């Protein structure tokens, strides 16, 4: 109960920062929806144009950097040391870029990318298919910074790099049993770290959603999240999001074939909605996170359907609360919206734009130029959508009801998975080898 004042203070800090546009505290940014109110952002860049600086990173990662003030936080595998490789647990689509066997947590200077401090967990890295054990994105509130690994080590540091607490989620809750390795990011909300453990592939135990006190690492609540999904269906790589009503908020989680809405104070499930897996496919692992637009939330598992759900329900609301759905799935990238238009990027590089309220398609399945596979979630800022593919090419389109390509911005890369972070009027793009600061 004495947590509340701290939480309030924190939310004020967050609100303040969101207006400034300087900080990118967690994966989907200050507004938790992949949008930024920054201005003066570059619309065009390349290796030789509008690159303020770039620094080599120890290894590739699916994580998005977190930024506060002058500090940038980056999770990573370690550098490949001659003769030692990360143990490859599972692979998909051939060999990835070789990397080291340790996990790193880096703090870099926003001015020039120089390293301010680093933490290391030895021998914890492995790559599983498209990801290694550094996929969860770091989170910061400007005072502390939190590092979650794919092996379930969650620790809190001061932004100066001093460890405050550390916990092992696999020991505290359940052994991870997820087909491609744990990759969800936690959500920082009102002084709590909300961590989803949604899995089932290896039958190691139930799925949970837990909330820890961000300051101390102590458990605030823990809720089993039930699912009747089978086989790979309970596995989720999704991050919780927040839905705000006039009088309350809910934490929204997607995975195990359902959307669920939870009371942030207790974690208790208020509603759940199916409709995500009409085929009853046993391999419907969830990758894209819920996209909240007002009191609507959108998500999709694998090839679809793409589903929009009205919040505010109680109990099982599959019959009553699906606002609309269509058959074109997006699988990996999380959709983004300015409130009037919902942009759904499919991992194959097709963009669709809908009216979020009605599902009316302004346009559907427009192919982004340059092709490639899209894992990063799009960024919406200054009336533009930034879409980065695995090769590090960012296509910028107009955030309007007509499909209009504004620019194509290549960087030399093969394996970009991270979403773009924004600070001030600069974009921070993490490719497999480098972190770029892009600015005019």
Partner 1 sequence: MNRAPLAVAGLILLLAASPSRGDDWPMLGGRPDRNLVCAEKGLPVAFEAEKQQKNVKWAVNLGKTTYGTPAVAGGRVFVGTNNEQPRDPALKGDKGVLMCFAEADGKFLWQAVHAKLETGELEDAAFIGLCSTPCIAGDRLYYVSNRAELICCSAQDGKPVWTLDFRKELGVSPHQGSASSPLVVGDLVYVVTGHGSDFKKHKVLNPKAPSFVAVNRSTGKLVWQDSSPGDRIFAGQWGSPSYGVVEGKAQVAFPGGDGWLYAFEPETGKLLWKFNCKAHEKLDKDGFPETPNQLVATPVYAGHRVIIATGIDTDTNGPGCLRAIDARKSGDVTRTAELWKLAGEEFACSISTVAVHEGLVYAVQFPGMFDCIDLETGKRIWQHDMLSTAFGSPLVADGKAYVRNGDGEVLVFQTGREKKLLAKNAGLPGVENGSVVAANGVLFVAGRNKLYALAETK
Binding residues for partner 1 (CB under 8 A): 88, 91-95, 97-98, 231, 279-283, 303, 327-328, 347-350, 365, 367, 371-373, 390
User: Which residue, 207, 176, 210, is CA-closest to 194?
Assistant: 210
- Closest CB 399 distance from partner 1, rounded Å: 21
Is the Cβ of residue 105 or residue 328 nearer to partner 1 in the bound state? 328
Is residue 159 within 8 A of residue 109, CB to CB? The reply is no
Query: Helix, strand, or coil here: 6?
Result: helix
- Closest CB 367 distance from partner 1, rounded Å: 6
Strand 361-367, strand 350-354: pairing: antiparallel
Is the Cβ of residue 182 or residue 374 nearer to partner 1 in the bound state? 374
* DSSP letter for each residue of 126-179: EEETTEETT-SPPEE-SSEEEEE-TTSEEEEEETTS-EEEEEEHHHHT-----T
- Closest CB 354 distance from partner 1, rounded Å: 16
CB atoms within 10 A of CB 300: 29
Strand 421-423, strand 405-409: pairing: unpaired
**241 backbone dihedrals φ, ψ, rounded to 5°:** -130, 175
- Closest CB 366 distance from partner 1, rounded Å: 8
Is residue 79 within 8 A of residue 102, CB to CB? The reply is no
Rounded to the nearest 5 percent, the helix, strand and coil shares of the chain are 5, 40, 55
- Closest CB 277 distance from partner 1, rounded Å: 12
Is the Cβ of residue 34 or residue 372 nearer to partner 1 in the bound state? 372
Is the Cβ of residue 200 or residue 267 nearer to partner 1 in the bound state? 200
End-to-end CA, the chain: 47
User: Which residue, 244, 131, 227, is CA-closest to 184?
Assistant: 131
- Closest CB 390 distance from partner 1, rounded Å: 8
Is the Cβ of residue 212 or residue 307 nearer to partner 1 in the bound state? 307
- Closest CB 97 distance from partner 1, rounded Å: 8
Q: Report which DSSP code applies to 275.
A: -
Is the Cβ of residue 57 or residue 332 nearer to partner 1 in the bound state? 332
Is the Cβ of residue 96 or residue 384 nearer to partner 1 in the bound state? 96
Q: In angstroms, what CA-CA distances link 165 with 18, 52, 121, 432, 434? A: 27, 35, 14, 30, 29
For residue 404, give both structure tokens: 């209009």
Q: What is the distance of C-alpha 196 from the center of its chain?
A: 12
- Closest CB 80 distance from partner 1, rounded Å: 9
Is the Cβ of residue 190 or residue 347 nearer to partner 1 in the bound state? 347
């Amino acid at each position: 109960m004495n947590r509340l004042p701290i939480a309030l203070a924190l939310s004020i800090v967050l609100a303040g920062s969101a207006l400034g546009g300087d900080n990118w505290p967690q994966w989907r940014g200050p507004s938790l929806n992949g949008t930024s109110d920054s201005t003066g952002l570059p619309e065009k860049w390349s290796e030789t144009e509008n690159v303020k600086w770039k620094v080599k990173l120890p290894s590739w990662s699916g994580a998005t950097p977190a930024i506060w003030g002058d500090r940038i936080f980056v999770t990573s595998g370690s550098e490949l040391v001659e003769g030692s490789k990360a143990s490859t647990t599972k692979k998909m689509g051939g060999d990835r870029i070789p990397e080291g066997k340790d996990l790193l947590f880096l703090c870099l200077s926003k001015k020039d990318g120089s390293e301010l401090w680093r933490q290391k967990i030895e021998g914890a890295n492995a790559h599983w298919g498209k990801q290694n054990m550094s996929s969860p994105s770091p989170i910061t509130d400007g005072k502390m910074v939190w590092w979650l690994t794919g092996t379930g080590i969650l620790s809190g540091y001061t932004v100066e790099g001093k460890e405050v607490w550390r916990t092992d989620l696999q020991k505290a809750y359940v052994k991870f049993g997820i087909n491609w390795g744990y990759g969800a990011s936690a959500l920082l909300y009102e002084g709590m770290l909300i961590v989803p453990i949604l899995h089932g592939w290896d039958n190691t135990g139930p799925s949970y959603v837990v909330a820890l006190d961000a300051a101390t690492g102590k458990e605030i609540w823990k809720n089993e999240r039930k699912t009747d999904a089978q086989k790979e269906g309970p596995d989720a790589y999704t991050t919780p999001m927040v839905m705000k009503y006039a009088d309350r908020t809910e934490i929204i989680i997607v995975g195990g074939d359902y959307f669920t809405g939870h009371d942030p104070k207790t974690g208790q499930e208020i509603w759940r909605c199916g409709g995500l897996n009409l085929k009853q496919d046993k391999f419907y692992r969830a990758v894209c996170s819920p996209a909240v637009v007002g009191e609507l939330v959108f998500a999709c598992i694998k090839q679809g359907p793409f589903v929009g759900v009205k919040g505010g329900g109680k109990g099982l609301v599959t019959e009553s609360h699906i606002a609309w759905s269509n058959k074109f799935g997006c699988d990996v990238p999380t959709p983004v919206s300015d409130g009037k238009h919902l942009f759904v990027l499919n991992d194959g590089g097709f963009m669709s734009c809908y009216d979020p309220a009605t599902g009316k398609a302004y346009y559907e399945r427009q192919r982004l130029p340059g092709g490639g596979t899209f894992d990063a979630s799009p960024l919406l800022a200054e009336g533009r959508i930034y879409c980065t593919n695995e090769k590090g090419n960012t296509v910028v389109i107009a955030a309007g009801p007509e499909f209009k390509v504004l620019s194509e911005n290549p960087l030399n890369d093969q394996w970009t998975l991270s979403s773009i972070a924004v600070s001030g009027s600069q974009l921070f793009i993490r490719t497999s080898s480098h972190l770029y600061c892009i600015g005019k």
